[in-house]
Structure 1
């Protein structure tokens, strides 16, 4: 049953296609030649041949462009990235200061992405969603990965700047970015509150 349904849908799609329309137009021309006697006894081959020429000459169908993701879908994608990040960082060993800083950062990410009104506010701020996605998908894994690699080389050839120092600085910068995102969301809610206050004041003046 499912196969028949798919075949039926494909046939209907072809009937509406540019190839079928162009082929049919050429086929009608072939019928016209048949009625005038120009096609002779070979009129079926002429009609079929003209149909094929028209179908082949028609431009190919353009695929439908994908629908853009809405805010909810984008945020769901960030949540999936965050779940993978949690699994990744759970398997790595970091020095205590960096581990504590990373833990605080992960808690902040989790609070922002928790389904509810906070996430609804976040979904309405595309730049904040982009910043959060970039940090979760790229920045945090890169911080942890480069720390582990650099620490391995440092054990072979001691000296130079401490990998721990770089890691802590990177996590500090990411924490500051996350705090700015949080502040922007708080400011958006403050503006919303102020807008409603202004609306009520203006409504009271005209009542």
Structure 2
């Protein structure tokens, strides 16, 4: 079950400590210390140990991005807000156009969670917000970020698809927020269906993923 506090391992330091790059670098550094204890590297042993750590960190593959907390159906607003903060940290990795739409969607979602009680009785709309924050946004963003760098070029097909998805999610998030403000939530009955149809099609893959979730280059 998701919690409102994603914990230390979701912070930048925590993600680095648990990353493959840090683990490989640390193993090589430990190996260097063992060799130093047995044979001695002389006065330069600290530099050698640091060097082998850096080599390990450089050659190890980068970990795949995973932004989803795994929100339960009917998640409290605190959990949704925690998911929003996780996605928000990745804004710096996007170009200005994509970051603008992501920021707009996240700002609207934040406003909604702060007035969550005003959605009491509007179960369909609450579920739509949960899907946007817990599935559609993090899935779109992490799928894009897990593509090889050459496929993430600004203006390329994957970037164009990402921006298109972020525009839709921003629009729908703002629409719900405005409905909450104007107390017109019941006018949004068809919104969840629209998003399910849009984000369950293969275009979400931004170039395709295999059954294990690994990105596949587009032709």
* TM-score normalised by the chain length of structure 1: 0.46
Larger-Rg structure: 1
- TM-score normalised by length of structure 2: 0.44
Name the structure where helix makes up a greater proportion of residues.
1
